[in-house]
Structure 1
């Protein structure tokens, strides 16, 4: 259900007032600080990944005893894996962290965003999943498909 024009106008006024009153809070609500933090975690994860690869290469190239070489290699692998996990989990859903842009070109908070959905929202019915599937199957069978 979309908001009326009056409600949209009031919401935009409240949004403008919030931006003027507390720009830091508005920035946080828009998600820009979350984007920066995610980008920082991705960069740190990449650096840790490269350090882990360096440890693996050092374990192979240095003339160490077998036990020390194994320990350095395993340590390098664990560091590399940790860096990869950190970088990949930070970049998992970049669309969720980016601020939403309205048709007017201004970025909204993303939480309310003027009451206009960006994609059709699927309303969940109270019926269980299997019951809905069975109902669809019955309708298809009745149509003759």
Structure 2
């Protein structure tokens, strides 16, 4: 099952970082998209945020070190007559080198990453260096073995 990830382009560095994060979690996103959008809508509307946290944790543990990616206890539902339902989940990617707060948008056909906040443990004055550090942090968080069937 392929997953297309769209990016909200504001500037080159933001787009590069969102693309890096989207690529780093694409398998997790594919797992999360196995759950019906209607279920996420129900969880968000019924304030059953723990259910979403459990889904994110169980999906992430297949591909990322424990605790690296988590649901940040918030989200929005976008429903309209004649439109595809979408949800936005508040997420956090955290490793010692960097913390990223972002929104993961999910619909029946797409996924999108939008970074809201990023903090580097030792930021560099060169944004390209910081982007490279983010790439390295994402790669370092990925598990090296294939998940068991």
Larger Rg belongs to = 1
In terms of fraction of residues, the more strand-rich structure is 2
How would you bin the TM-score normalised by the shorter chain?
A: under 0.3
- The TM-score with structure 1 as length reference comes to 0.20
Q: Greater helix percent: which structure?
A: 1
